[in-house]
Amino acid sequence: MELYNYIKALHLIFVVTWFAGLFYMVRLFVYHAEAKTKPEPEQSILIKQYQLMQYRLWYIITWPSAVLASFFAFWMLFFTEVGQVWLQQPWMHVKLLFVFLLYLYHLKCHQIFKQLQKNEVKNSSGFFRLWNEGATIILFAVVFLVILKNAVNWIFGVIGIILFSVLLMLGYKFYKKIREKNNS
């Protein structure tokens, strides 16, 4: 049981650093998109710096954290008695669905990262601000599933997450109006 607790602690540490990397990476996407609208030489200086920051964050923190979080999760699920029990629980199936969605989100961030490394900005800073909420929604879903361990009421949880998402989007639109008003 003590080994299990060490594995669990390592899993949680790398989940935290993975999410931190995703949150900050998308924030750097916002800054990169905004830098693209700046005049030269400011634009070139900022973009070069953001590309370096993105590169380091992505390959030194975010990807390694994703791999290590998954490694320790796999170890817990398939090589411990507790994990064997959890794999039979409906809440774990729903959680693993959200983890799959997190990997899709991560891979899409990787695609955006590669574009920005070539300075191909295909989305606005507003898009990236909303995109950042994807990881937030997944985080909320996973934490509630793990803590409550209840997939029977997962429909209520999904409805709650959707309502939370709507509130986030409304908050963003309100924030955007305030920013536009202050900039004019």
Question: For the segment 7-44, what is each residue's pLDDT rounded down to a tens digit?
Answer: 999 999 999 999 999 999 999 999 999 999 999 999 99
Whole-model pTM over 0.75? yes
Start-to-end CA span in the chain (Å): 61
Position with higher pLDDT, 24 vs 87:
24
Predicted confidence (pLDDT) at residue 65 exceeds the cutoff of 80: yes
DSSP sequence for 10-71: HHHHHHHHHHHHHHHHHHHHHHHHHHTTSPTTHHHHHHHHHHHHHHHIIIIIIHHHHHHHHH
What is the C-alpha to C-alpha distance for residues 64 and 159, in angstroms, rounded to an integer? 33
What is the C-alpha to C-alpha distance for residues 112 and 106, in angstroms, rounded to an integer? 10
Residue 126's alpha-carbon distances to 30, 123, 139, 140, 182, in angstroms, are 8, 8, 21, 22, 16
What is the C-alpha to C-alpha distance for residues 7 and 14, in angstroms, rounded to an integer? 11
Amino acid 176: pLDDT:
78
Average pLDDT for residues 84-97, to the nearest whole number? 89
Amino acid 54: pLDDT:
98
User: Residue 176: how many CB atoms within 10 A of its CB?
Assistant: 13
Range of the domain at 20: 2-183
Average pLDDT for residues 97-125, to the nearest whole number? 96
**Is there a binding annotation on residue 95?**
yes
Tell me the pLDDT tens digit for each residue of 115-162: 999 999 999 998 998 899 889 889 988 888 888 877 556 667 667 777
pLDDT band at 102 (very low <50, low <70, confident <90, very high): very high
Amino acid 154: pLDDT:
63
- Which tokens is 64 given? 């390694």
Mean pLDDT of the chain: 90
Amino acid 43: pLDDT:
96
Amino acid 174: pLDDT:
84
Is-cis flag, bond preceding 64, omega within 30? Answer: no
Q: Structural domain tally of the chain?
A: 1
pLDDT band at 163 (very low <50, low <70, confident <90, very high): confident
What is the C-alpha to C-alpha distance for residues 18 and 124, in angstroms, rounded to an integer? 24
